[in-house]
Structure 1
Amino acid sequence: MASHFSRSLLAPRHWLSWLGAGVWFLLAQLPYGIQYRMAKALAPLLKGRKRRYAMAQVNIARCFPHLSEAEREQILRDNMFSMAMALFETGIAWFWSKKRLHKLFTITGVEHIEAANAEGKGALLLSLHFTHLDLGSAMLGQFVNYDGMYRPHKNLVYDYLQKVRREAYCPGGITIPRDNVRTMISRLRQGRMIWYAPDRDLGPKVSIFVPFFGVQTATVTATATFARMGKAKVIPFTQRRLPDGKGYEVTIHPPFENYPAGDEYEDALRVNQFMEREILPCPDQYFWATPRFKTRPEGETSFYTGRI
C-alpha cells in the first residue's frame, strides 16, 4: 500500500501544482516564529472565503449559545488564525526533519501505547479535526508506529504528497483510504495502531443522531464497529498549540474502558463527549469551517444557507 510515483504526475497540467508544492516547501523552511507571524497577517484575509467563514460562524454559534456574541466573535477571529496557521503547520509536518520537529513539542501518555503493544493489541488512535491535524500526526509518529486513515484528494499531486509524507511520519506506516475497511480491520487484528478521526458528517446511512455540544449531530457508528471487529482498543490522542508561538503539547489519553459497550447510541455519545472535553480548552483550534451539521433530523431545516 506504499505510495508510488507515477510519471503521469509530470504532465504539464500538473506543473502549477508542483510549483505550489515547491513554494510551500520553501515557506516551511522559515523559522517557526516567522511562520507564526505570517499566519497572523494572513488570518484577516480568510474572511474572503465567505462560504467557509459563514459555516464556521454558524457552527460556533450553535455550539456555544451560552456565550455572548462578542465572545463567539473572538473565537471566530482566533479560529481564522488557526486556519491560516494550518497552512504552515502542515508544511512543517511534511517538510521538516524529525530532529527539528522534535524541538517543537512535548508528549505525555506514551505508556498507554506501550501497554497495548505489550498485550499484542491493535488500537484505534482516536483523533479529531483540529486545524493542526497533520502536525499532531507527525509529532505522534516520533513515538508511535501507526497507520493512518485518509480521504483521497482530487488534486493528484496533493494526493500523492499527502500519502507519501504521511507515510514518512513513522517507518512501516501506510495510508488507508477511509472506504478500505477490510485493510483497516486486518491491520488492527495484526496489532497495528491506526489513526482515526470520526468527527465528520458522512450522511444518514452510516450515522445516528447523537448530541455534540447540545446539537443533534449525525455521528458515525463505525468507531465501535471497528474496535469490535478489529479486537482493538480505542486510545485517544490530541495535540494543542500553546499560546504565543511556544510550541505544542501532544497528549495520549488512557484507553476507553469497557468499549464498545454494545449500545450504538452510548458508544457514539462517548466519542462525542470526549471530543467536547478536548475542544473546550481551545475551541479556536478546531476545524469549524466545515458543514459539521449538514445532515439534520427529519423535519429540521438546514443550518446553512446556499450550496454546501
Structure 2
Amino acid sequence: MASPQFNRALLAPRHWPTWIGFGFWFLIAQLPYSWQMALARRLAPLLRLNKKRLNMARTNLQLCFPQKNEQEIEQLLADNLQSTTMAIFETGIGFFWAKSRLRKLFSITGLEHIEQAKAEGQGALLLSLHFTTLDIGSAMLGVCVNYDGMYSPHKNKVFDYVQKVRREAYVKEGIAISRDNVRAMVGQLRKGRMIWYAPDRDLGAKVSVFVPFFGVPAATVTATAQFARMGRAKIIPFSQYRRADDSGYDVVIHAPFENYPTGDELADARRINEFVEQEILKAPEQYLWAQPRFKTRPEGEAKIY
C-alpha cells in the first residue's frame, strides 16, 4: 500500500528538534540489545521527575494490589519505572531494526490460531494490551502475521508521520486504520483481515460500561464486542513478555475467545477485563500503570487522581 504522504511543512524549523530527536533515537537503537536494556535501567530514576505520572502509577498499583504492603508497592513501582524506560528503547528497536535482526530476539507460539481463522475465511481482532512492550510486541507480531492496526494520531505532526510510517512497516501489506474509522475497520474484518486492537484504556463514559478491574469499577469500552459482532470476527488475544535475563521476548498468541460476544454488554466487557487481569499477573511490572485507567468514575464517586 502507499505510505503516508510526506509534505514540506514537516521540514519547517519548528519541527527540526523532533527530526534531530528521531536521528538520535535511530542511532541509539543500533546498539546491542543488552546495552540498551542496561542503559534503560540506569535512566529509570529520571522518570520520578514526572510526579504526576509517578503518583498515578503508585495509585493504580495500590488500588489493584491492596494485599501488598507499602514496601512491596514501592518495589513494584521501581520495577515498573525500569520497564517503562525500557519501552522507549524497545520502541526504537521496533521502529528501526531490520526484520531479520528483530526475528532473533523472540520466540512465538500459537500461530495455529491465526492460521485456523484464515483457513475459515474469518477476520479477527488481535487483542493486545497496554504493556510497556506494546510497540515492540506489535513489531514482532508483524514479522510473523499479516495484520492491520488501529491508529491514534499524535499531536506532533512529525512524530505522527514517522509513527504511522514505521508501524505500517511492521507488516508489508498492513495498513494503519484511524481509531474513529469504524467503517474501514469493520470492512477489513469482513474481508478476513486480522486487526491489532487494544481495548484496555479509559475512553470515557459515553463509550463504556463500568465493570470491575482488579475489583475497582473501571470504564471499559464496549467497542470490542461491537466490532466482533459487526465484523463477524473472532477475538484472538496475544501477549508479549520481556524475559528477565535480557535475552529477548516470548510472544504468545492465545486461543480465540469462545461464545463471544454474548450480547450482554456488561458480561462482554468483564470478559475483557478478566483476560487483562490474567495477563498482568504474569508480569505486573511490565504493564503501563502510569495511565489514568480509573479517570472516569461512576456517578457520585469522587475522583481518584
Supply the distance in 1 between the matched residues of 2:4 and 2:216 (Cα, whole angstroms): 39
- What's the counterpart of residue 294 of structure 2? 293
Amino acid at match of 1:248: Y
5 Å matches for 1:79-90?
Answer: 79-90=80-91
In structure 1, the partner of 2:44 is: 43
TM-score, length-normalised on structure 1? 0.98
Q: Given residue 149 of structure 2, which amino acid in structure 1 is its aligned partner?
A: G
In structure 1, the residue matched to 2:252 is 251
Counterpart-to-counterpart distance in 1, 2:302 and 2:3 = 43
Q: How many residues align?
A: 304
Number of the residue aligned with 1:226: 227
Aligned to 1:130: 131
Q: Distance in 2 between matches of 1:190 and 1:108?
A: 25
Shift of 1:244: 2.3
In 2, the alpha carbon distance for the partners of 1:71 and 1:282 equals: 15
> Is the 1:148–1:173 contact (alpha carbons within 8 Å) kept by the matching residues of 2?
yes
Structure 1 unaligned blocks of 5 or more: none
Indicate the residue corresponding to 1:113 in structure 2. Answer: 114
The letter of the residue matching 2:9 is: S
Deviation at 1:223, TM superposition (A): 0.2
Q: 4+ residue runs of structure 1 moved beyond 4 angstroms? A: none
The amino acid that maps onto 2:34 is G
TM-fit CA distance, 1:6: 1.5
2:173 counterpart of 1:210: no
Aligned-residue Cα RMSD (Å) equals 0.8
SS at match of 1:217: strand
Distance in 2 (CA, whole Å) between partners of 1:215 and 1:115 is: 36
Task: Determine if contact 1:227/1:260 at 8 Å carries over to the other structure.
Answer: yes
User: What residue is the counterpart of 2:33 in the other structure?
Assistant: 32
2:145 aligns with 144
Q: Supply the distance in 1 between the matched residues of 2:151 and 2:281 (Cα, whole angstroms).
A: 25
Partner of 2:10: 9
Which SS does the other structure have where 2:55 is aligned? helix
Instruction: Tell me the CA shift for residue 182 of structure 1.
Output: 0.8
Q: Percent identity?
A: 66
CA contact (8 A) 1:2 1:175 kept: no
| Structure 2 match to 1:99 | 100
* Deviations, residues 141-198 of structure 1 (Å, cap 9, x unaligned): 0111000002100011110111000001111101111111111001100110000001
CA distance in 1, matches of 2:100, 2:3: 24
SS at match of 1:3: coil
Q: Which residue of 2 aligns with 1:282?
A: 283
Distance 1:165 1:263 in 2: 38
SS of corresponding position for 1:103: helix
Instruction: Work out whether residues 28 and 91 of structure 1, in 8 Å CA contact, stay in contact via their aligned partners in 2.
Output: yes
SS at 2:143 equivalent:
coil
- Report deviation, 1:51: 0.6
Secondary structure of the structure 2 residue equivalent to 1:179: coil
| Structure 1 contact 236–254 (Cα < 8 Å) conserved | yes
CA distance in 2, matches of 1:211, 1:266: 11
Q: What do residues 13-54 of structure 1 show as CA deviations (whole Å, max 9, x unaligned)? A: 111110000000000000001101100100011100111111
Normalised by the length of structure 2, the TM-score is: 0.98
SS of the residue 1:209 aligns to: strand
Tell me the distance in 2 between the aligned counterparts of 1:6 and 1:133. 29
Partners of 1:3 and 1:199 lie apart in 2 by 27
Tell me the distance in 2 between the aligned counterparts of 1:64 and 1:185. Answer: 37
Deviations 1:260-305 (A, max 9, x none): 011111111100000100000111100010111000111111111x
User: Aligned to 1:164, what secondary structure does the other structure show?
Assistant: helix
3-state SS of 1:208 partner: strand
- Structure 2: stretches of 5+ with no match in the other structure: none
Distance in 2, matches of 1:37 and 1:143, equals 28
1:127 to partner: Cα distance: 0.6
Q: Give CA deviations for 1:70-121 in whole Å, capped at 9, x if unaligned.
A: 1111110000001110110000000000011011100000000000000000
Counterpart position of 1:194: 195
Task: Report the AA paired with residue 98 of structure 2.
Answer: S
Amino acid of the residue matched to residue 22 of structure 2? Answer: A
Q: Helix, strand or coil for the counterpart of 1:18?
A: helix
**Is 1:92–1:135's contact at 8 Å kept on the other side of the alignment?**
yes
Per-residue deviation, 1:2 = 3.9
